[in-house]
Chain A
């Protein structure tokens, strides 16, 4: 048997017993998992299974009702407000943690009043305190890497969806994050455009970039993931390597979901 590949690798995201409800509707009901350095973790499951919420809890875009979140060894501190609602105790800590986790959204969410290059250097210069020339240099390297160096002075509205998403990936990479979070990065794209985005993500995975990915692209998840989590009704129903989850899942529901997804594709 091979040695555990994660034995020496550091845990970058540790989530323990996470609970979250929207009103009366429980979205996460005790989710725990760990992502190690260099891992590509895919979250799969039907709509409403809580995978996006789980991802958004990692960088505190959603504040969980209870549970533990440790990012790069730093535990997020929570407190209760007057109504008993959980909230983050220290906004500065959250800002610090967020600079280590960069997120890519389904709708790209580029800043429309800034050029592609300005989108990329905004956070490095204004938040991370990098010198402008260095930030520009890194930004241009990253744009070349995602294949849109020639668009650096364009505004987002003049790019295709696939190009916009690649800019968004470059923008996230420009902050030199420990982990990349992808929230259905290709769901808003035509299959053809999705392909170019998936190619970029695949390259990142091969370079050893740590990623957590919410996706409906089952073939892609099977190909790039080192770990796959299948969520159902706010619980992790199946977890394992891509091979385990896609080929011999122990949960019947997971098997059905995976088969249905592959048949559709």
Chain B
């Protein structure tokens, strides 16, 4: 085992780890918001909204994430390239970056998978409490914000932990479109040092640490709910 390269490459490694975490946070939070919309959309009484939400989750869950990333990066990216107005706009530095295409793809993916999870969670909240909230004069959105969603999320905390770890691992696909995330930099080091295993081992360890950190974070959140037995 040869880890002599580490002293030379470790600044890049940290930067790459940061990119991975950024990708996780950006697509995790944006995807979460999207998932809430999709979850409620799936339960909507409006036929069009329900149909649209279902089609969306089917599309996202029925195609490989890698294909989605390619479609956005190569498809959308090449379309944008031919638009002079876009190339001159202040958005171009972002649109040129693989990072944002991957972030978008992951966001859409989280929206689809987590949206379906949220739908089941929303449906599992006892109707009586929601009815009581309405009967006491709470407006719809307040019922959602204060009664419905909190109970759903508390109930789903263990699932959310799992989904977050899944998302962390999915971010590794970013390296396929030239993003210097954790796996991206590992590949770079492999190419430059001709070492196969060592960079990969380091990076695997890094993912593992991040995954454990996520699990611990959610465990702590869960243990702080005094009513967890009641949900």
Contacts and interface: CB of A to CB of B under 8 A. Distances in A.
Interface of A: 59, 61, 91-92, 95-99, 101-103, 105, 107-113, 122-123, 126-128, 155-158, 168, 171-172, 175
A123 B138 contact: yes
B75 interface: no
Contacts of B137: 95-99, 123, 127-128, 175
Contacts, number: 83
Given A113-B227, A126-B138, 4 more contacts: A61-B134, A92-B139, A110-B132, A113-B150
Interface stretch (B1-9, B54-62, B140-148, B215-223): B140-148
B154 interface: yes
Interface in B189-231: 225-227, 229-231
Interface in B144-176: 146-147, 150-151, 154
10 contacts: A101-B135, A110-B129, A111-B129, A112-B227, A113-B150, A126-B146, A127-B136, A127-B142, A168-B132, A172-B136
Contacts of B150: 113
A109 B138 contact: no
Q: Which 5 interchain pairs have the tightest Cβ spacing?
A: A157-B230, A99-B137, A109-B128, A109-B132, A98-B137
A171 B136 contact: yes
Contacts of A171: 136
A126 B225 CA distance: 22
B146 A103 contact: no
Given A127-B142, A155-B226, A61 B129 contact: no
Sort chain B's interface into a size bin: 20 to 34
Contacts of B134: 61, 98
A107 B128 contact: yes
A250 to B, nearest CB: 34
Contact of B136 (A92, A98, A112, A157): A98
B133 interface: yes
A94 B136 CA distance: 10
B153 to A, nearest CB: 10
Nearest to B136: A123
Nearest to A153: B226
A240 B146 CA distance: 42
B131 interface: yes
Nearest to A158: B230
A101 B151 CA distance: 25
Contacts of B129: 109-112
